[in-house]
Amino acid sequence: MPIDSTPLIKVFQLECEKGYTDSAVFGGLDKFIARWAAKAEGAITNRRLLSRFRQLHLDRPGYALLTREQRRQWLDDVISFVSEVEKAADKRGKATPPPMPGKPSPRPAKRAAQAYQSLDSSITAIKGVSSSLAASFGKLGVTTIRDLLYLFPNRHLDYSQRKTISQLVEGNEETIIANIWQVRQVMPGGRRSTEAIVGDETGNVRVVWFNNPYLVKQLATNNQVVISGRVSIFKGHPVFQSPEWELLEDRELVHTGRLVPVYPLTRGLKPRQVRKLMKEVVDRWAPQREDFLPPELARRRNLPKLPQAITQAHFPENEATKSQARVRLAFDELFLLQLGVLGQKRQWQESQPGSPFEIDRSFLQTWVKTLPFSLTGAQKRVIDEIMADLSKPKPMSRLLQGEVGSGKTVVALAVLLMAAANGYQGAFMAPTEILAEQHFSNICQLLSQAGRQEAKEDYLHRYSGLLERPITVALLIGDIKGSRKQELQQQITTGDIDIIIGTHALIQKEVSFHRLGIAVIDEQHRFGVAQRQALRQKGFSPHILVMTATPIPRTLALTLYGDLDLSTIDELPPGRLEIKTRWLKPTQRASAYNFLQRQVAAKRQAFIICPLIEESDAVQARAAVSEFEHLSQRVFPQLKLGLLHGRMSAAEKDEVMGQFRSTKLDILVSTPVVEVGIDIPNATVMLIESADRFGLSQLHQFRGRVGRGQEQSYCLLLAENPSQIGRERLDIIERIQDGFELADEDLKMRGPGEFFGTRQSGLPDLRMAKISDVALLEMARGEAERLFARDPDLKNPEHQLLVKELARVWPGEDSEWS
């Protein structure tokens, strides 16, 4: 017989209106609820609902003991539960009692129903999670119940082996189950603490919880307690000091006697509290997590079900289930990541046609012969790889990586010229204005022997002799005055300019192209998928070549840039000398300065990089100014020094760079912000202050500023008081020259997130997957390709949960899943 919930709901509504003061019925709500529940329990036939009912009704302190917020929460929950029961009754075709006669105010029920329906509900929907607790979780990036499910423990304590008291070994982490003989408050050293004597059939042991007098109340004598913790010896006897504990009751152990999770914490979160909450959340919500992997795939790869994997990742039965869970969850991350990047690649290549170029090799060869050097084998190879892409109707999407100084610029120029030969425009985008200017002057240099210079206007050079028509190269930077800039923009729009060099920002914001055929993007890290999408033109997508000097190991490239094909220049131009790198003691500073002086006397130049200061550009600039003054007045009064920092205008920076390039300056003092890509072949010394504060790849970038000419070059590292990690880094950079080897070391020390800095976000988190999971990564890649091969548009009904999950993990307007 269905029960009539109307009186209950009425009482609850009244209680809401009275502000949760436990005053809706005489004698308090607890009694009323107990009476009603006794009747209700018999009437609920659905097993799931019954267990929910018991959870709601029995698994809580009395209503009278709840805080106001907890009361509100609990009432919401019950009301929503009742409406669910009614719905169930409805489905079975039975008469439903009118929900709330005369009271058209189902607001709390609605709110609660929402809270109960989804993993996306705020964690405040969980019973007992106050807004301040939620704020603490917020600091860990947890706002929803789903986030909580995916807040995995940092590690587990192995308390799974039960020992008897006679078996306890000093110094070991041990678990016992014992009877509580005696509990009392004690005051060791004036700290109010709890002491218990517990015993099993083999003996007794003393347990002390320092600074915690409240346990006296919770540890009643003659109860069975489980104790897990390190055993120490006090006055010849074993003792547990502040161990984990819990009463041996009729439920699963959480804190002791098992593999016990250790969660990441922050202010306001206590280990025991979090663990208890996580147990409840996992038990309740893990089963609700839809398993989005195609069942066939999960079976074939022998992966556990998702709810099971989540549960075992938190509260594992044993090491084996824990590691299976990790594999499944790590696979999920990598698989979704691969599907995302491969999907983007497909979308880039297939939604809009590219423009196939006709590859005229003889034209290229003629130009190459005019260069002051011959191309390295690696340069030739990557040019071939790129040309093969360009001849296809699909837009190219390629990453070119090559060590600092490996000669990427000339490869870029080959590509830009090929676009011009085909009647298209090419854009060459640099991360900073200094670099854009440098590319402009280098490219003009590389063209100067091939063609006759026809015009040399401000920011625009024109060369004839390479094609039937002249080729026009222009520089577009922020400094250019209004009317001249408009003129240039106009010429780009009409197609009068073939090659446009500028910063990412300028080219994307201020220019509309006549016919953009290819975009070359220098320095990959600041250029994500979204920016690439922004380059699309009406009607077709340009080919894209992204260049980076930060070598990325293949597996990582596959993970992070799976949407790009990969070309690598793995060979430096001949005759380059190894840059001698020395980590100096603070006491060797004077001799470092002497060394600089001698190099300058030998007509070389030097860089000095100021310490990294993280507060702000302004602070950084001030520090650099005072360092500059100190160096030029005290240390090198007879030399000419220049200063470069991020607060200078582009024109000022230019002026200084120009002076340094034309050897009017001997030493360039610079903040770390202006690190990338500067090419001064006559500079032979790079002195880095506080070198321990920089990452390996950044140190390697700095070092790459020298050793570009024929002379022996040096990199000197100063560090006042390096940390352990800092010392390791300095040791590695001193030892290793090769960028790829360094990148590997860097990854080992830092992990991929830090390796790329926060800028490289926009990619889903990797929590379980490690970058060393090469086999798993290859497997995820293979499965993603297989899936696309079978169901290119993911239309198969079996894949719909997966599509939903992809849309969640890869949000954003241009996502093909949303």
- Binding residues (CB under 6 A) for ligand ADP: these are 373, 375-376, 379, 402, 404-410, 549, 573, 679, 708
CA 805, CA 293: separation in Å to the nearest integer? 10
Query: Which one, 579 or 643, has the nearer CB to ligand ADP?
Result: 579
Cβ 435 to ligand ADP shortest distance, Å: 10
Count, residues near Mg ion per rule CB under 5 A: 1
| C-beta of 407 vs 426, nearer to ligand ADP | 407
Positions 640 through 679 that interact with Mg ion (CB under 5 A): 677
Q: Please name the residue ranges forming H helices in 449-528.
A: 482-494, 504-510
**CB 33 within 8 Å of CB 74:** no
In angstroms, the CA 476 to CA 159 distance is 65
- Selection from ligand ADP, Mg ion, none that 679 binds (CB < 5 to 8 A by kind) is ligand ADP
Q: How far is the CB of 404 from ligand ADP (least distance, A)?
A: 5
Contacts with 93 (C-beta within 8 Å, 6 or more apart), sequence order: none
**Binding flag, residue 405, Mg ion (CB under 5 A):** no
Q: Which does 146 bind (CB under 5 to 8 A by kind): Mg ion, ligand ADP, none?
A: none
Residue 373 partner contact from Mg ion, ligand ADP, none using kind-dependent CB cut-offs of 5 to 8 Å:
ligand ADP
Q: 677-696: which residues touch Mg ion (CB under 5 A)? A: 677
Within 10 A of 16 (CB to CB), how many other CB atoms are there? 18
- Which of residues 204 and 441 has its CB atom nearest to ligand ADP in the complex? 441
Of 13 and 379, nearer to ligand ADP (C-beta) is 379
Contacted by 562, from Mg ion, ligand ADP, none: CB < 5 to 8 Å by type: none
Q: Smallest gap, in angstroms, from Cβ of residue 327 to Mg ion?
A: 41
Dihedral of alpha carbons 706, 712, 717, 718, sign:
negative
Smaller CB separation from Mg ion, 310 or 547: 547
State the nearest-atom distance from the C-beta of 675 to Mg ion, in Å.
12
Q: Which DSSP string corresponds to 457-477? A: ETTEEEEESSSSS-EEEEEE-
> Both ends of the chain: CA-CA distance in Å?
46
Structure tokens, 284: 């309740």
CA 800 to chain centre: 27
Residue 80 or 376 with smaller CB distance to Mg ion: 376
Listing from the earlier edge strand, what are the strands of the sheet with 605-609?
580-584, 714-718, 683-688, 605-609, 667-670, 641-644
- Helices (H) and strands (E) in the chain — how many of each? 28, 23
532 binds, among ligand ADP, Mg ion, none (CB under 5 to 8 A by kind): none
Give the residue with the Cβ less far from ligand ADP, 128 or 707.
707
The minimum distance between CB 661 and ligand ADP, in angstroms, equals 12
CB distance 463 to 470 below 8 Å: yes
Closest-CB residue for ligand ADP? 407
Nearer to ligand ADP, 376 or 489 (CB): 376
Q: How far is the CB of 655 from ligand ADP (least distance, A)?
A: 22
Report how far residue 558's alpha carbon sits from residue 585's, in angstroms, rounded to the nearest whole number: 40
Residue number, 243 or 677, with CB nearest to Mg ion: 677
Q: Which residue has its beta carbon closest to Mg ion? A: 677
CB nearer to ligand ADP: give 229 or 402: 402
Closer residue to ligand ADP, CB minimum distance, 216 or 521: 521
Q: In this structure, are residues 791 and 799 in contact, taking their beta carbons and an 8 Å threshold?
A: yes
Long-range CB contacts (within 8 A, 24+) of 453-458: 458/484
Query: Which residues share a beta bridge with 688?
Result: 609, 717
Residue 264, token pair as written in the block: 């990441």
Contact 543, 400 (CB under 8 A): no
Write down the least CB distance from residue 663 to Mg ion, Å: 22
Q: Can you read off the two tokens belonging to residue 358?
A: 């006709």
Q: Smallest gap, in angstroms, from Cβ of residue 506 to Mg ion?
A: 18
Tell me the closest approach of the beta carbon of residue 404 to Mg ion, in angstroms.
7
Q: Decide if residue 704 touches Mg ion (CB under 5 A).
A: no
Q: Are strands 237-241 and 203-209 parallel, antiparallel or unpaired?
A: parallel
Q: Report the partner that residue 376 touches, choosing among ligand ADP, Mg ion, none (CB closer than 5 to 8 A by kind).
A: ligand ADP
- How many residues are there in the chain? 818
Shortest gap between Cβ of 574 and ligand ADP (angstroms)?
A: 7
Look at residue 809 and give the partner it binds from Mg ion, ligand ADP, none, a contact being a CB closer than 5 to 8 Å depending on partner kind: none
Least separation, in Å, of the C-beta of 444 and ligand ADP? Answer: 12
Name the phi and psi angles at 125, rounded to 5: -70, -15
What does the binding site for Mg ion look like in residue numbers (CB under 5 A)? 677
